[in-house]
């Protein structure tokens, strides 16, 4: 049976833009390799969750892997924590966090501490392992200003509000319980954040940053609380030995909680400078060993959030060029996005994304180009994200008959 490659170009879907003659990014960009895959495959458009529902990257990836996000998604925190290698236990409550900058009145001056790049490991060590009441704090840095926090103890709840105000020049929020059993957790989180300010504000790294007129990383801003989710592994669900190639901790976390091996690639940053060629080389090698390989390329989403239409076009063309070596790989290949991030709105939208499936046993339709409008005319028609794994399993002769 052939291996399955699911290549997700994060946020690649878009809407018409007057700056490029009313076309979408994919309609405007020169993508000869993606067009070639479309010509040799079966095409359609896909609602990652359901029509009109705006997906997050976390819920979208869950859906594309065949998990019901309405059942297994408890919040972004656990996926961020798992993505940077924290081993979660049942009952843990996890948060995604920023190192932020506040003044003495705890007003946020910079939610990202100047996108700090150095020193966060040392700062994180000062917080990791401390105890608030009878709850253990597990804290680790991620990329740049990002980090993950885990509260480990008894009778904790994720049903609390964020401390991160999500905007600069606002005082940090007090976390509030959204249910009676969450009062204790909210109190512990509030104590931790205030303690983080006491510990970090006078740290030598931050004193040095202040001398250099750089924003000190003097507080932790948690958000996205979630309790450790119960998920069957990809092996249990599909009997697939699976791996993930990604630069961002969120996708690594979703994959790790799905029981997938994480393949770390040098130069895979999750940013616009990510080494796409190195990722594709790693994918080709992984397909020799694994039944299923997921690869995420984050960069298009970043340009969408920035409203940079021409940057997104260049990135689409850069990705397309890197996909050339996949033409010679014998496997079932799926090319799609996890959601649309239109440059005109600078955020995720509920617009469906194009999807191309090519390989043995795949019916070839009349579609010639990989874009939102061309693919909509293909044989796949319009599907939902939850359909994708079933289709892939069937095309690789792994499905079991339903009924007599």
Give the CATH number, domain containing residue 331. 3.40.720.10
* Structure tokens given for 344: 């005109």
Residue whose C-alpha is closest to residue 157's, from 179, 175, 132, 173: 179
Assess whether 237 and 386 both reside in one domain: yes
Cα distance between residue 199 and residue 322, in whole Å? 45
What pLDDT is stored for residue 143 in this prediction?
81
Q: Residue 259: which region, alpha, beta or left (left: phi > 0; alpha: psi -120 to 50)?
A: left
Domain assignment present for 148: yes
Assess whether 153 and 167 both reside in one domain: yes
176, 199, 227 - which closes a domain: 227
Assess whether 84 and 221 both reside in one domain: yes
Domain assignment present for 402: no
CB 43 within 8 A of CB 379: yes
Cα distance between residue 80 and residue 163, in whole Å? 17
Cα distance between residue 2 and residue 25, in whole Å? 32
Domain assignment present for 404: no
Assess whether 36 and 98 both reside in one domain: no
pLDDT tens for the 404 residues of the chain, in order: 799 999 999 999 999 999 999 999 999 999 999 999 999 999 999 999 999 999 999 999 999 999 999 999 988 899 989 988 899 998 999 999 999 999 999 999 999 999 898 999 999 999 999 999 999 999 999 888 989 999 999 999 999 999 999 999 999 999 999 999 999 999 999 999 999 999 999 999 999 999 999 999 999 999 999 998 889 999 999 999 999 999 988 999 999 999 999 999 999 988 899 999 999 999 999 999 999 999 999 999 999 999 999 999 999 999 999 999 999 999 999 999 999 999 999 999 999 999 999 999 899 999 999 999 999 999 999 999 999 999 999 999 999 999 98
Strands (E), 175-280: 219-227, 242-245, 261-262
Assess whether 255 and 218 both reside in one domain: no
Assess whether 313 and 253 both reside in one domain: yes
CB 203 within 8 A of CB 106: no
How many Cα atoms within 13 Å fall on the side-chain side of residue 157? 16
Assess whether 89 and 142 both reside in one domain: yes
Residue whose C-alpha is closest to residue 369's, from 46, 40, 38, 43: 38
DSSP code, position 385: G
Total Cβ atoms within 10 A of residue 63:
28
Assess whether 366 and 235 both reside in one domain: yes
200, 227, 254 - which closes a domain: 227
Domain of residue 239: give its range.
4-73+231-395
202, 227, 252 - which closes a domain: 227
Residue whose C-alpha is closest to residue 358's, from 384, 323, 319: 323
Domain assignment present for 88: yes
Cα distance between residue 394 and residue 275, in whole Å? 33
Assess whether 288 and 201 both reside in one domain: no
Domain assignment present for 204: yes
Domain assignment present for 13: yes
Domain assignment present for 304: yes
Cα distance between residue 120 and residue 256, in whole Å? 24
What pLDDT is stored for residue 174 in this prediction?
96
Cα distance between residue 176 and residue 162, in whole Å? 8
Residue whose C-alpha is closest to residue 144's, from 46, 30, 323, 269: 269
Domain count, the chain: 2
Assess whether 189 and 268 both reside in one domain: no
Assess whether 189 and 244 both reside in one domain: no
CB 384 within 8 A of CB 62: no
What pLDDT is stored for residue 270 in this prediction?
85
Domain assignment present for 400: no
Q: Are strands 135-141 and 146-152 parallel, antiparallel or unpaired?
A: antiparallel
Assess whether 67 and 174 both reside in one domain: no
């Amino acid at each position: 049976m052939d291996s399955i490659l699911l290549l997700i170009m994060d946020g690649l879907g878009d809407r018409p833009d007057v700056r490029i003659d009313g076309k979408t990014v994919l309609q405007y960009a020169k993508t000869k390799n993606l067009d070639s895959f479309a010509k040799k495959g079966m095409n359609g458009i896909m609602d990652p969750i359901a029509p009109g529902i705006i997906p997050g990257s976390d819920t979208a990836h869950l859906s594309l892997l065949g998990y019901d996000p309405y059942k297994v998604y408890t919040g972004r925190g656990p996926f961020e924590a798992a993505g940077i290698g924290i081993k979660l236990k049942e009952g843990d409550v996890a948060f995604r966090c920023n190192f932020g900058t506040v003044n003495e009145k705890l007003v946020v001056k910079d939610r990202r501490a100047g996108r700090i790049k150095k020193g966060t490991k040392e700062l994180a060590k000062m917080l990791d392992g401390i105890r608030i009441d009878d709850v253990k704090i597990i804290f680790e840095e991620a990329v740049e200003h990002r980090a993950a926090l885990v509260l480990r103890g008894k009778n904790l709840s994720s049903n609390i509000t964020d401390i991160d105000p999500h905007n600069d020049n606002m005082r940090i929020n007090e976390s509030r319980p959204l249910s009676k059993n969450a009062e204790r957790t909210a109190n512990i989180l509030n104590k931790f954040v205030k303690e983080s300010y006491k510990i970090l504000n006078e740290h030598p790294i931050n004193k040095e940053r202040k001398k250099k007129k750089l924003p000190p990383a003097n507080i932790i801003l948690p958000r996205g609380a979630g309790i450790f989710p119960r998920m069957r592994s990809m092996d249990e669900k599909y009997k697939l030995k699976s791996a993930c190639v990604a630069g961002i901790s969120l996708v690594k976390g979703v994959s790790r909680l799905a029981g997938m091996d994480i393949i770390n690639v040098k130069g895979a940053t999750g940013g616009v400078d990510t080494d796409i060629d190195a990722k594709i080389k790693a994918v080709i090698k992984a397909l020799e060993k694994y039944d299923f390989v997921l690869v995420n390329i984050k960069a298009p989403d970043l340009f969408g959030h920035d409203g940079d239409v021409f940057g997104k076009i260049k990135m689409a063309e850069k990705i397309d060029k890197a996909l050339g070596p996949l033409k010679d790989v014998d496997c079932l290949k799926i090319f799609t996005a996890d959601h649309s991030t239109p440059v005109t709105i600078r955020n995720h939208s509920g617009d469906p994304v194009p999807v191309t499936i090519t390989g043995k046993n795949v019916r070839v339709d009349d579609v010639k180009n990989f874009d939102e409008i061309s693919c909509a005319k293909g044989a796949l028609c319009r599907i939902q994200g939850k359909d994708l794994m079933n289709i892939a399993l069937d095309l690789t002769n792994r499905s079991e008959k339903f009924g007599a």
